[in-house]
Amino acid sequence: MIINELNEMRDFAYKFASLLKENDVINLIGDMGAGKTTLTKFICEYFGINDSSSPTFAIVNIYDGDNTIYHLDLYRLEDPDELLELDYERYFYPEDAITFIEWAENGGCFLPDDMINVKISKLGTNTREIKILDDTKRGREINEYFSN
């Protein structure tokens, strides 16, 4: 899906959010400035959360709204073992929440296998391409909705 303006990003985020359920873990893949935090902000807005921000320095932000959202930014992790200090299982295997992870590749072997992988590519100043990858069962389920 090609996104040309913030309203289109919000529309995509709301549609995507409507398909999410508790226990989902979303891996947001993209370069710095691609729109990972913006997408998460709009998804939080869909769930009645209006005070979301990037967890770059906190590593984990927890938002309570219609659903609990865990938002992790692993950019600053130097070693995946640092996750042992964060109670990572709570976030990577949520029982009653939805988790969004930026820079998940820094989590190494601790990451769950069944994440919904969302790739955001910056095509221009205001243009993004968003792809939900078909590499997991949940990713395929969500893609079915978007392809109809």
Instruction: Report pLDDT for 120.
Output: 96
Q: What is the DSSP letter of 47?
A: T
Task: Count Cα neighbours of 17 within 13 Å in the Cβ-side half-sphere.
Answer: 23
Instruction: Report pLDDT for 57.
Output: 59
| Distance from C-alpha of 72 to C-alpha of 4, rounded to nearest angstrom | 26
Instruction: Report pLDDT for 86.
Output: 85
Residues in the chain: 148
Instruction: Report pLDDT for 54.
Output: 63
Q: Using CA atoms of 67, 107, 37, 13 in order, give the dihedral in degrees to the nearest 10.
A: -50
Nearest to 60 by CA among 45, 74, 50, 48: 74
The CATH number covering residue 120 comes to 3.40.50.300
| Distance from C-alpha of 74 to C-alpha of 57, rounded to nearest angstrom | 9
Instruction: Report pLDDT for 126.
Output: 87
Query: What confidence tens digit (pLDDT) does each residue in 116-128 have?
Result: 999 999 998 889 9
- Positions in the chain short of pLDDT 50: none
| Boundaries of domain holding 82 | 2-147
| Distance from C-alpha of 146 to C-alpha of 137, rounded to nearest angstrom | 15
Instruction: Name the domain count of the chain.
Output: 1
Instruction: Report pLDDT for 20.
Output: 96
